[in-house]
Amino acid sequence: MFMTFSILLNDVKGQVSQGNLFFGGSFKVASETQQRPSEDIRTVEFTFAPSAGYFITDNLALGLNVALFSGKEDDGFGGDDKYSTIGVGPFARYYKFTSNEKFAFFGELGTLFGTAKFRPDGQNETKSSFFSVYLSPGFSYFFNEHWALDLSLQGISFAGSDPDKDDDNDKTTNITFGLSSFNPTLGFRYYLGN
């Protein structure tokens, strides 16, 4: 689960009004140890994904996501395998308030294009590329004019990758839909009023 943070400029229903901006993103640090008979395998990962958006009309924002990811894993032989990813892509997010003005559903449609590097310990680096298109539903609960809680669910996604740019026969595509892709993102947003 990712924890996200955002700063949005304006007031409760007014925060999603034409001309307003928002800034935010997600941050994750993860560490895992797998116990093996000969040696424990440890993986450490870091993710930072900032985003910014502009409301082109009431309730509809267009923006840009950036994703930075890096990690390393014990290779089981005393060395570390290292990998990193950088991606960028546009998104559109639409808010629909319910009869309770503190509660709004939203849908986000976006895409991400990027490159990745993988360097096994003592071996040559492999470069790859990827892209994804996603549609994610979610909701926001506005505690007051400054704070809201967001919950996003991974809905539908289509992703393609080329694991080795030097090999033309290794491209893959994945389509993910429904409960098997349930991967919630929980976060708080801070709103600045006029």
* Res 11: pLDDT: 47
pTM exceeds cut of 0.85: no
* Res 159: pLDDT: 85
Backbone region of residue 145 per phi and psi (left: phi > 0; alpha: psi in -120 to 50; beta: other values): alpha
* Res 118: pLDDT: 85
* Res 4: pLDDT: 55
* H runs (alpha helix) in the chain: none
pLDDT by residue, tens only, the chain of 194 residues: 455 555 544 445 667 778 887 877 777 788 888 777 777 778 888 888 888 888 899 899 999 999 999 998 876 666 788 889 999 999 999 999 988 888 999 999 999 999 989 888 778 888 888 899 999 898 888 887 767 788 888 788 888 887 666 666 677 888 877 644 456 777 776 665 44
Distance of CA 159 to the CA centre of its chain: 14
3-state secondary structure of 165: coil
Residue 104 tokens, joined: 């709004």
* Res 107: pLDDT: 93
- For tokens 């910014």, the residue is 52
* Res 106: pLDDT: 92
Give the C-alpha distances (Å, rounded to integers) separating 146 from 133, 150, 172: 31, 13, 43
